[in-house]
Chain A
Amino acid sequence: MNSVFKFTALTICSAALGLSASVVWAQTHQHAHPHGEAKATSKRTVLPFDEKTWVHALQHGPRPAAYLFTTSYCSTCPAAFAVLHKAVQQRKDKPELNAVMIDVTGPQALRHAAHFKGMTHMYAFDGFEPAIRQAVDPAWPNVTPYVVLVDAKGQTQRVIGPPPPLMLKRWLAPS
């Protein structure tokens, strides 16, 4: 009897702690401000990214901005992000640099935040990955890093891998 009660008590405690942790994450998540300043990074939040997010970002999102689509296993992605970070370091307007995790969400995604120095927001796919990927680009063959650069006029450039210097120059050219 005692062991049954102990088990029950420990189970309830564990469940409560787990639930507590997930709700704390969700509430932090709810406070995330996608159009806020770079402070979002220090809050360690992750925003959902579904089929509609991309259209919204292109129409109403900040310009210039960069979106690097990545995965939890993409060890070549941090270096590509560093290329973006270096490109904007000397600029006063600080274009948004966003990372979009394709394969994991929540705390699992946030584990990778430290790899993306200078990141403004972290997003994570929220739904069936091929459907969201095709909404971003029907021709994107699920290779990461996949980088989309949105310039001041809203024009996009897309590349798999680190963006080359000429592409970066075009991205950051004044409107």
Chain B
Amino acid sequence: MNLLNRWCAVLGLVMAWLCVVPQAGAHDAVKEASKPAATSQHRHQRPQLATGAAIAPDGRLWVVGLNAQAQLFVQSTPLGAALQWSEARILNTGADPIAADGESRPKIAFGPQGWAVISYTMPLAKPYTGFIRMLRSSDGGQTFSAPFTVHQDRQEITHRFDSVAFDAQGVLHTLWVDKRDQPPKGSAQKYAGAAIYRNESKDGGQTFGPDTKLADHSCECCRIGLARNPQGQLQATWRHVFEGSIRDHAFASVSAPANRITRSTHDGWHINACPHHGPGLALNAGGHPTGYHTVWFGIRKVNGQDQAAVRYARLNAQGEPLPETLRVLPDARAEHADVLADGPNVAVVWRSSEGAVTSLKVWLSTDGGQNFNLKTLGQTTGYNDHPRLAQSGARMVVVWRNTQETQVHELRF
């Protein structure tokens, strides 16, 4: 065995040397090649910065993401005057590859009885496929289980863009985009988009109920927005493929029978494409009527011209839009907006890039979304994540990660 080890070490060193010594042939070929203006090799590897954030029952802010070695880590800090981040703790995720880019990010959610869960999409070998994986904790995040697959369906197909949340009764809901209803390849049948599937766990992620369908014909690559209704039940919104290949948004109570949906936006965007730009949803508890705040990206015809924009509107309790509340965010470059609310206080947060510089912006309202004030919270150059929102009662924070730091902005109204 010792001999084998030594042989392996020597072989490794030789291979490493062969790899780093430039090869004359390759060098000549580069000089001779007719290249575009760019260099012939990628200078940048896109960092996996997508991060989840949540406020624990004890008021600490937690974040979950990938480090530079693509390891899943959690970190927490008390909120208040000065942040005091705990040491990043690497979690055991076995050999799972983890999606942590754009709309597909690891997420963390806290429930009752010390329950906490972390979920993420594990891409599979075949493109566009994945499994929703989860780690659970029953001690408030001090320790986490090994990862497990949340859904019962184990086909190598799309199960991606997970969203997780506990309802007011402590039931854990997991929703995801799922392609199990696609007709077989070569079939004459057509199926627009994907589907939204979900399941429930009443014991903090120890056991799960069956996979059930919430809706057919969702968009394939956008996040799902979740919010509680006044009774604490979860409501969902997602980009949907309506009749005629119209990609607007649907709204449903997550416990509703399949396909009992309400159309919550009316951009009329006729497109067969992937916006990768899902909606945000927050309860409008003090509104008349009580309903929801929502933000979304879409393209609609305005005076005969396509107008791409992130828009804000309020919905009634059934998820129908209140047309008079529709507003375009005051930023033509607004991307990946999300919304939080507590009573009359409403915050719409987004990022906005101009070349290499990205700004973090917020629209604040203290009258339930009637009027907003625009503020810039931060700025960075180069790679950065979408803004992530976390809330505990009246306390709202924006978490924004770049390659150098994780900014935390507590919102003051």
Contacts and interface: CB of A to CB of B under 8 A. Distances in A.
A76 B220 CA distance: 9
Contact of B30 (A30, A52, A161): A30
A105 to B, nearest CB: 5
Interface string B30-53: 100111111111111110000000
A127 B79 CA distance: 34
A55 B221 contact: no
Interface in A32-59: 32-35, 47-50, 52-53, 55-57
Interface string A82-97: 0000000000000000
Interface residues of B, dominant DSSP: loop
Interface in B264-285: 271-277
B272 A127 contact: no
Interface residues of A, number: 69
A167 interface: no
A13 to B, nearest CB: 4
Nearest to A141: B308
A117 interface: no
A161 B40 contact: no
A132 B232 CA distance: 43
B303 interface: no
Contacts of A15: 12, 16
B82 interface: no
Interface string A1-40: 0100110111011111101100100110111111100000
Contacts of B37: 52-53, 55-56
Given A12-B13, A162-B272, A35 B34 contact: yes
Nearest to A124: B42
**In which size bucket is the chain B interface?**
35 or more
B36 A73 contact: no
Contacts of A2: 1-2, 5
Interface in B309-356: 335, 353-356
A30 B29 contact: yes
A143 B160 CA distance: 18
A161 B46 contact: no
Contact of A29 (B1, B9, B12, B41): B41
A12 B274 contact: no
A9 B38 contact: no
Contacts of A153: none
B195 to A, nearest CB: 13
A27 B127 contact: no
A128 B297 contact: no
B8 interface: yes
A161 B272 contact: yes
Interface string B239-255: 00000000000000000
A71 interface: yes
B189 to A, nearest CB: 16
Contacts of A49: 38
B26 interface: yes
Nearest to B126: A111
A111 B129 CA distance: 12
Interface of A: 2, 5-6, 8-10, 12-17, 19-20, 23, 26-27, 29-35, 47-50, 52-53, 55-57, 60-61, 71-77, 79-80, 103-106, 111-112, 115, 124-131, 134, 139, 141-145, 160-162
29 contacts: A5-B2, A6-B1, A9-B5, A9-B9, A12-B9, A12-B13, A26-B41, A31-B33, A33-B33, A47-B36, A47-B40, A48-B38, A48-B42, A52-B37, A52-B38, A53-B36, A56-B38, A71-B274, A75-B128, A75-B220, A128-B353, A128-B382, A129-B46, A131-B353, A143-B274, A144-B276, A160-B271, A161-B273, A162-B272
